[in-house]
Amino acid sequence: MPKKVITFGEVMMRLSPPGYEKFAQANSLDLVYGGGEANVAISCAYLGMKAAHVTRFPDNALGKAATQFLRKHWLSTEHVIYGDNMIGKYFLEKGAVHRSSEVIYEREGSSFSLIKPKMIDWENVLKDADWFHWTGITPAISEGAAKTCLDAVKTAKKMGIKVSGDINSRDNMWKYGKTMQEVIPELVQNCDIVITSTRGIREMFGLGESGDKFGVGAKQLMDTFPKIQKVVGKTRKSLSASHQQIQGKMWNGEEYIKTKMLNITHVIDRVGTGDAFASGLIYGLLHYDDDLQALNFASAACALKHTVPGDVNMVSLENVISLMKGDTSGAIRR
Amino acid sequence: MPKKVITFGEVMMRLSPPGYEKFAQANSLDLVYGGGEANVAISCAYLGMKAAHVTRFPDNALGKAATQFLRKHWLSTEHVIYGDNMIGKYFLEKGAVHRSSEVIYEREGSSFSLIKPKMIDWENVLKDADWFHWTGITPAISEGAAKTCLDAVKTAKKMGIKVSGDINSRDNMWKYGKTMQEVIPELVQNCDIVITSTRGIREMFGLGESGDKFGVGAKQLMDTFPKIQKVVGKTRKSLSASHQQIQGKMWNGEEYIKTKMLNITHVIDRVGTGDAFASGLIYGLLHYDDDLQALNFASAACALKHTVPGDVNMVSLENVISLMKGDTSGAIRR
Amino acid sequence: MPKKVITFGEVMMRLSPPGYEKFAQANSLDLVYGGGEANVAISCAYLGMKAAHVTRFPDNALGKAATQFLRKHWLSTEHVIYGDNMIGKYFLEKGAVHRSSEVIYEREGSSFSLIKPKMIDWENVLKDADWFHWTGITPAISEGAAKTCLDAVKTAKKMGIKVSGDINSRDNMWKYGKTMQEVIPELVQNCDIVITSTRGIREMFGLGESGDKFGVGAKQLMDTFPKIQKVVGKTRKSLSASHQQIQGKMWNGEEYIKTKMLNITHVIDRVGTGDAFASGLIYGLLHYDDDLQALNFASAACALKHTVPGDVNMVSLENVISLMKGDTSGAIRR
Amino acid sequence: MPKKVITFGEVMMRLSPPGYEKFAQANSLDLVYGGGEANVAISCAYLGMKAAHVTRFPDNALGKAATQFLRKHWLSTEHVIYGDNMIGKYFLEKGAVHRSSEVIYEREGSSFSLIKPKMIDWENVLKDADWFHWTGITPAISEGAAKTCLDAVKTAKKMGIKVSGDINSRDNMWKYGKTMQEVIPELVQNCDIVITSTRGIREMFGLGESGDKFGVGAKQLMDTFPKIQKVVGKTRKSLSASHQQIQGKMWNGEEYIKTKMLNITHVIDRVGTGDAFASGLIYGLLHYDDDLQALNFASAACALKHTVPGDVNMVSLENVISLMKGDTSGAIRR
Amino acid sequence: MPKKVITFGEVMMRLSPPGYEKFAQANSLDLVYGGGEANVAISCAYLGMKAAHVTRFPDNALGKAATQFLRKHWLSTEHVIYGDNMIGKYFLEKGAVHRSSEVIYEREGSSFSLIKPKMIDWENVLKDADWFHWTGITPAISEGAAKTCLDAVKTAKKMGIKVSGDINSRDNMWKYGKTMQEVIPELVQNCDIVITSTRGIREMFGLGESGDKFGVGAKQLMDTFPKIQKVVGKTRKSLSASHQQIQGKMWNGEEYIKTKMLNITHVIDRVGTGDAFASGLIYGLLHYDDDLQALNFASAACALKHTVPGDVNMVSLENVISLMKGDTSGAIRR
Amino acid sequence: MPKKVITFGEVMMRLSPPGYEKFAQANSLDLVYGGGEANVAISCAYLGMKAAHVTRFPDNALGKAATQFLRKHWLSTEHVIYGDNMIGKYFLEKGAVHRSSEVIYEREGSSFSLIKPKMIDWENVLKDADWFHWTGITPAISEGAAKTCLDAVKTAKKMGIKVSGDINSRDNMWKYGKTMQEVIPELVQNCDIVITSTRGIREMFGLGESGDKFGVGAKQLMDTFPKIQKVVGKTRKSLSASHQQIQGKMWNGEEYIKTKMLNITHVIDRVGTGDAFASGLIYGLLHYDDDLQALNFASAACALKHTVPGDVNMVSLENVISLMKGDTSGAIRR
């Protein structure tokens, strides 16, 4: 019986010029949909889990099309709600080597940002779930989104469902009057698993030291929020837009674990790789007894996502396991 | 020395599925830019006039790309201003035969909607212009847009520049607290040329009678706003989404003029055909002494636009004159 | 509570050169999926019904992708089964005017053709269904498919679920040793609604007279198979590959009903129009008391499908009702 | 044993914006190759004949690619020669309804235009041929092309091979110092079959009367050049760029024959339709005893070409015969 | 006078999602044709040799289109035969870095698999050939294919034509009742040149030792089959799907030769690189006296193929020689 | 007040197969426009300068479209002139790794090549300019082009405008009777900045020594042409078509300056990188006091161009400065 994960967050229309074209060159824009939390759910579904995503779309043909995207990628969409008129969007211009990818967000006034807490019946949504996942983007969007997220986290906790939060956020995303320092802690204190970075721990909670001391900050975070069982992160080395290196790391309360560095020499699509890591971590923690194996699984999932166009990690369980076991050859499968 | 026309209004990103695909089928969206007033300016430019468009774009790469679209299509963009973060948009799903094209607008909160009257120095903008054109869409967008438009109309009038307004609007577009019945009259009273419909005259001004009595309403409109010199409209017969018929009509204070019906049997792109009519009318009135010829020119420009993909009428002066003179054969030119 | 329809049949990969290219011109082939019965289910889903399709796909990435196509288009795929290695296919070269579209099938040895009766637990599949639909293609594919279809029809009948069969078939499709004259009658005798043609009635059952005497044949068919409640057909006039006319007709045991002729002057995609008719009929009979309205609904759905690329009719309930009520203008909806 | 036809003339790279885009809209140009004479050869090959085309391409990768296009479309290219650096080109912007297609030629200085008479060994080329075909375009290109064409015609005549010439030309094509009135007659006097128009006969030879008196001019032409056996033409009625009508006509020395008018209501590609007519005529005269049947075949081939993208008529013998026999339904073939 | 090579084997339709898309993302599939033996013939043709391929295609429009692909790429197709209804296919999803490319074959029941020995008149086919090449794929397809291949090999040998076999095969390809150990030896004993791997030698013939001892196995193979003159292989190091290294190796009965390693850092298309090696070897052995030069030529051809999309190596003789001589710079040629 | 740069030279239509396709594979060609000097102007414009390009286009729709391309990319086109019928062209087949990109030029007889000195009123064109830039390609095209260029250089010098020349040329480009050794010196003696290479100095002027002694040659060049203030070059190391390294170098009369090597590991488009260097140099020398900073800016601009498709460097000032300051990470900008 596959495990079931529930995620909650905004799903945006992603519009990007073909190939490496600049915005001003494009006569058409490639269209997919994505959002940190839905990306996690979809990746889990491709790994064989059951997954549903909760979000709010405009009540028009674009909201329908976005829902169809989620359905196509194996999600249950029975808890998607509809209202208002604008779908969140991001425009992505893909870079290479020294040229950065550029992202322009258009989320203000979106149907999701206008969500209100009572719109979702979380007890019903979560009734047969094994895991709930949220990210630090959602509470930054609007007060309604933040409160709805908090309801979800508390309900999940109360129902005994594992909760993970990928709490990375940026100060400049918080525009509705609250700061991340005010809002995130209450969410984090109900989490079992926190995905973050040394810098995230320092900026959000004033914990940890400068330098790459992830273990120190993670330990202090767990001291502060004792329900947290694992603090997980990854080291990304950006040699260029086309060449990235990834290493998973985890403080599980007992030991500080690191994976081997994976070397992604020809990046196809860098977006959503953190979400692939999170989904790999969820899968790994649910299916392996050993934290290092779970972390290796997460890192392998993350590395593979760099080669899949779009936001979501469509690779199979078999693909991830093969890389996790050390086969980096990419040899043709016939 | 070519005549110069100035237009003012929002320019939107237009995103449409390729060919006749439905929104949910599209993996990419074709991208052009358009907006009623800029469409008029660009069409005038293709006919050989000088043309500049005044608008407000977001201060980001998409605002730049939109400006580049206007430049490419021969407009002067020196009076474009930049600010805020969202470009207006419309999504177009192209229909055929009995299936209607569907349009979804996303204009709320756009950079243009946030324009404020003092942002544009109209005396400077209009200093060497022969004609100013506005439409009934602009005052519907926001109070700032409405006031900026009124400034423009009054300044143009004061400077002795011809003013035309294509005043068609719909009640459901007016969301900021004013109605079209409150706002449009002050704009219209400074116009030389008004483009409208029997229904528009009735709904906006309570003039005219029911039935297709364009002449009656037009006459009453000119009685009410004595500065108006001509009231112009067109009869469109929509046999299907793929087959349209167009006929121009005008009340010039002395006679009621109608053109022959043009029969567009294979529509390629229906959007912007009204703007092509307006630009043809501007060109015609500036270059022909005879109102019927001007109206014939406008109708021919309108008919030709139905065969050009995108919002703007890229046909040449030669093309329009040829059709205006009766050559409907579409024979290859080598 | 929406009604639920279940369909059963092969879903093929449909590969077609872009636009009007000939096979030998294509550097790529457009890819969708389709099959008469799944087309019906999907069209019903777009009209707001619940719909599930039962089929068998290869147990590989292509079988998964085909399933994802069904999910995207709103179907429940929980009863899809997997096995063997080949997905059925058809290649479609789209014609125009005097040039016929050409279809090449590749179904022999497909995973679906290798289906065996016990593979589907029909009682479970049909447990909350309101309608079961099959077509004359399925029993022609293989003995296993024919028997599985018969099981479905009998189980549905036993469970009190309405059964419709679109029994059109061609002699040259029957290659596994049985003829349509041997197999179809047992299927038909359990049907409530039969969709067929004058020629179909004559060739399969030896009933009816020559000439376009649909009513006569239909009456004899109902006399022969007394459980049938309605015999439904349509007259298609093919003026050219680009111009078709459609008229629905029905014998309901009491009167012979015909709809007005709908005139599709610019065909976009002719495939699946019969399936759109069938889905419209199912919707109509479930939602209207009046047979003429149901038939009008079916004809309007059929006409609209001619303008939608791909196999399936993605138009909305609102679109169909609008055309059914006589609005043929295709005017833009904003 | 299939008959063999040899053709001689320039093959150009054809570059056209996708769909109905204007030149200034295109980010890419569709690429095929074409030229009146090669079009005839290829169409003959699709009808089942053997066919070779003689031309001169630049000695570079583009000349190779052009040759590969001819090979792909079944031609023998063993007599293609190479030299110099430029391939002839034409740019095609496809029109619709009242908007004309526009063609821009770039042939000056092309490798073909620099051909010299001794470069082709016509006795060898023609040794197993049944038919040689040329057009009035070739002698207009350059003195070298004209002389090479004359050599071909004379050699063919001497060898007893049937010669057809599609002699339509325009004064403004003749830029190298000779006029068509000087050059064409010597070519025509060795022809068995001349394809031309009333206007062509009048402008080139000063024969015939004004008005549509094809028969009169044709008779005078045969009186002037007694080796001519048939003078063939077609009436094209251009209702619009999207809707054409075609009727074949022939004076065979004994009677004036006309086919029924074929009505092409949805033109896909108008280019090369005259060449399709010529190839149909060649096929028809070689395979039917009856001139009317041959002319019907030619007209049907011509009509079908209007629905095939590109320069060449890729329809099959079966397609042409079906239309020639009166099946205009375009019904799907499965 | 160019040398002539004849090849025999299945040619498949190759369908692949654009770029790096996964199967489930594709709205279209890129279409080319390919098959190990035809790939060799085509590559030889691009190097300037004469080449013909013998195969069997379905007798429909797809079989024609496949033939046209071979013609376009310079092959003689006069010995292609037609029958039955299905063309062999493979679906290719292109991987990158750690993500493997995935291939799904559909060959069962294909027209080629139904070939029977007497269908090809090998004496006629081979009459002016210098070389015959086969691969280990063909005898795995069906008994008919295996026997037809054996006929070809024996006839060639009898006629004094050089025979090469690229004998790599996999146990799981053999489904018709014979094993590769039963069938391959009789084919190999008539070969002059055998292309294989250490593993191939061990699995097929039980020869050689474990570890990378190619020379040892090759020597034993030549001892077993004394007509073999050279045993050739290559070492491929797959650093990732995007980065491959290639080195040629040969035992010629006297010495064990290795080329320098070529480093393909940015793979465009990995498929057909082994066939490019084989064609380079054939060219090299026919045109160089020195085995090392021939092997260097083969390795350079192989390396270059990694940068050409599709199955076939379209690079020119000049390209191969340049790389063979050590120019790895890829500097622009103007 | 932004600085203004004027450039002069041919702008060609650039036609290239999509992706890495070979010419013979392409069904369409990607279309942009480019030319060394216009590329420089456009890159300057993207960096925030004012820029106008002077050229001559055919007086047809393609000349218009080319002008629109320049306008779109921010150039002033008021000094573009029109005449004759052919636009210059180049065909680009993009290589990878060991496969070279191949370029085929078609410039002979182009509208630009037929330019005559009096056609441009240089005093008017240059009246508010800060910089004039030319390249060694222009004087190679035709006598008219060479003389027009010399006029420009002399007029600029006389008007006190800075002049830079990128004098790289190749002997085989000079076909109209003059050699580069005859023509270039007179142009160079009026230049302030000369961009060249060790080899260029040696071949054009017989100066410098063999080996990579750029400083030596540069010094001698400045001794010979005392108005030159800086001689600038770059070292390009072509590890493969996909991997390039770039280093700027300059002799400014006092010291020999070199930048750090930039490593472009994944080339997207190699064309126009030298022009990007030149535009970076112009920007740098106009905006930095320090020659090393100017050279660093030029090198960074050059490196970034390798990642932008098309001829022109569309990167922003911010992008260049970021790389110039050492950020090679290509990290996403949100």
User: F132 and F126 in contact (C-beta within 8 Å)?
Assistant: yes
State which H helix or E strand residue C48 sits in.
none
Chain A contact probe: residue of D23, D27, D28, D29 with most A CBs at under 10 A: D27
Nearest to E31 among C27, C85, C108 (CB): C27
> A212 falls in which pLDDT band (50, 70, 90)?
low
Number of A to C CB contacts under 8 A, please give it: 14
pLDDT above 90: residue A176: yes
Nearest residue in chain B measured CA to CA from A93: B61
> Residues in chain B with pLDDT < 70?
210-212
Q: Which residues of C touch A69 (CB under 8 A)?
A: 72
Task: Please report the pLDDT score of residue E243 as a whole number.
Answer: 98
Q: Mean pLDDT over all residues of chain D?
A: 97
Nearest-CA residue of chain F relative to D106? Answer: F86
Contacts of D170 in chain B (CB under 8 A): 334
At B211 the pLDDT is 63
Q: Kindly determine whether residue D100 and residue B264, on different chains, have CB atoms separated by under 8 Å.
A: no
Average pLDDT, rounded, for chain E: 97
Tokens of B211: 């039935």
Written as six digits, the tokens of C58 are 């290869």
Interface of E with B (CB under 8 A): 25, 27
Give B78→chain E minimum CA distance, Å.
Answer: 40
The answer to whether the CB atoms of B71 and F72 lie below 8 A apart is yes
d(C-alpha A100, C-alpha A93), whole Å: 9
The nearest CA of chain B is from the CA of C331 a distance in Å of 5
Q: What is the pLDDT of residues A240-281, one digit of tens each?
A: 999 999 999 999 999 999 999 999 999 999 999 999 999 999
By the 10 Å C-beta count (0-12 exposed, 13-18 middle, 19+ buried), B178 is classed as middle
What is the band of D169 on the pLDDT scale with cuts at 50, 70, 90?
A: confident
Strand (E) or helix (H) holding E56: strand E56-57
Residues 6+ apart with CB under 8 A from B258: B247, B248, B249, B250
Q: Rounded to whole angstroms, how far apart are CA atoms D83 and D70?
A: 18
Measured CA to CA, the distance from residue C191 to residue E204 in angstroms comes to 59
Q: Average the pLDDT over D217-245 and give the result.
A: 97
pLDDT at residue D218 in the model? 96
> At residue A172, does pLDDT exceed 90?
no
E-assigned strand segments in F155-229: 162-166, 193-195
Which residues face C60 on adjacent strands? none
D25–A27: do the CB atoms touch at under 8 Å? yes
Angstroms from B90 CA to nearest CA on chain C? 10
F200-254 pLDDT, tens digit per residue, is 999 999 998 766 689 999 999 999 999 999 999 999 999 999 999 999 999 999 9
The token pair at A325 is 């076991």
CA distance C267 to A108: 41
Q: Which chains touch B (3 or more CB pairs under 8 A)?
A: A, C, D, E, F
Contact F241, E315 (CB under 8 A): no
Q: Is the pLDDT of residue A209 over 90?
A: no
The pLDDT assigned to E320 comes to 98
Give CA–CA dist F306/F289, Å, rounded: 27
> What pLDDT does A93 receive?
98
Could you tell me if E67 and E28 are in contact, meaning their C-beta atoms sit under 8 angstroms apart? no
Give contacts of C73 with chain A, Cβ < 8 Å: 68
H/E run at residue E280: helix E273-287
Chain F residues whose CB is inside 8 A of the A101 CB are 330, 332-333
Distance CA D121, CA D108 (A): 25
Give D24's contacts in chain A (Cβ within 8 Å): none
Which H or E run includes D159?
none
Residue C184 is predicted with a pLDDT of 97
Q: Residue C140's pLDDT is what?
A: 97
**Cα dihedral B195, B196, B197, B201 in deg (nearest 10):** -140
What band does A224 get if pLDDT is binned at 50, 70 and 90?
very high
C110 CB-near residues (< 8 Å, 6+ apart): C10, C12, C58, C84, C86, C87, C88, C89
Contacts of D68 in chain E (CB under 8 A): 72-74
Residue A211: HSE in the Cβ half-sphere, 13 Å Cα cutoff = 4
Residue range D213-220: mean pLDDT, rounded: 93
The tens digit of pLDDT for each residue in D124-134 reads 999 999 999 99
**What 3-state class would DSSP assign to B60?**
coil
Residues of C in contact with D240 (CB under 8 A): none
**Cβ within 8 Å, pair A238-F262:** no
Interface test with E, best of F12, F100, F170, F245 (most E CBs within 10 A): F100
When pLDDT is cut at 50, 70 and 90, the band that residue D209 belongs to is: confident
Chain D positions touching E71 (Cβ under 8 A) are 71-72, 74
Nearest CA in chain D to F111: D106
The answer to whether B95 contacts C328, with C-beta atoms less than 8 Å apart, is no
Alpha-carbon distance C187 to nearest alpha carbon in chain E (angstroms) = 30
Distance to chain F for E228, nearest Cα, Å: 33
pLDDT at residue A238 is higher than 90:
yes
Residues of A with CB under 8 A from a CB of F: 19-22, 24-25, 95-103, 105, 170, 238-243, 266, 270-271
State residue B41's pLDDT score: 98
Chain F residues with CB-CB distance to B69 below 8 A: 72
E98 chain-A contacts, CB cut-off 8 A? 262, 264, 300, 303-304, 307, 323, 327-328, 330
- Confidence (pTM): 0.97
Give the chain C residue whose CA is nearest to the CA of A65: C72
Superfamily covering domain D4-324: Ribokinase (3.40.1190.20)
Q: Which one is predicted more confidently, F212 or A75?
A: A75
Looking at the partner chain, which of C264, C310, C327 has a beta carbon nearest the beta carbon of B97?
A: C264
DSSP state of F171: G
**Per-residue pLDDT at B212:** 63
Which pLDDT value is given to residue F211? 63
Across C59-83, b (16+ Cβ under 10 Å) vs e yields ebbbbbbbbbbbbbbbbbbebbeee
Interface-testing mutation among C67, C72, C308, C314, with chain A (most A C-beta atoms within 10 A): C72
**pLDDT category, E210, cuts 50, 70, 90?**
low
- Residue C278: count other Cβ atoms within 10 Å of its Cβ: 30
Mutate to test the interface with B, among A68, A86, A111, A114 (most CBs of B within 10 A): A86
Classify domain F6-324 by CATH number: 3.40.1190.20
- The helix/strand/coil state of A115 is coil
Give residue ranges of D with CB < 8 Å to any E CB. 68-69, 71-74
Number of D to E CB contacts under 8 A, please give it: 14
Q: What is the mean pLDDT of chain B?
A: 97
Q: Provide the pLDDT confidence category of residue C209 given band limits of 50, 70 and 90.
A: confident
Superfamily of domain A4-323: Ribokinase (3.40.1190.20)
At D212 the pLDDT is 63
Chain C residues in contact with A72 (beta carbon < 8 A): 68-69, 71-72
Q: D92, D100, D267: best mutation site toward chain B, by most B Cβ within 10 Å?
A: D100
pLDDT at site F210: 65
Q: Which chains touch A (3 or more CB pairs under 8 A)?
A: B, C, D, E, F
Residue D51 — left, alpha, or beta (φ > 0 → left; ψ -120 to 50 → alpha)? Answer: beta
Q: Which residue of C has its CA nearest to E108?
A: C109
Q: What residues of C are in contact with residue A74 (Cβ under 8 Å)? A: 68, 71
Mean pLDDT of F162-188: 94
Contact residues, chain A, for D27 at CB < 8 Å: 25, 27
Q: Phi-psi category of A308—alpha, beta or left, where left has phi over 0 and alpha has psi -120 to 50?
A: beta
Compute the Cα dihedral for B60, B61, B62, B63 and give only its sign: positive
Contact between chains at F73 and B68 (C-beta distance less than 8 A): yes
Q: Which residues of D touch E68 (CB under 8 A)?
A: 72-74
Q: Which of F74, F77, F332 to mutate to test the interface with B (most CBs of B within 10 A)?
A: F74
Query: Does residue D210 register a pLDDT over 80?
Result: no
**Chain C positions in Cβ-Cβ contact with residue A68 (cut-off 8 Å):** 72-74
What integer is the mean pLDDT of F62-91? 98
- Pick the residue of C72, C74, C265, C318 with the most B CBs within 10 A to test the interface with B by mutation: C265
Percent of chain F having pLDDT more than 90?
Answer: 96
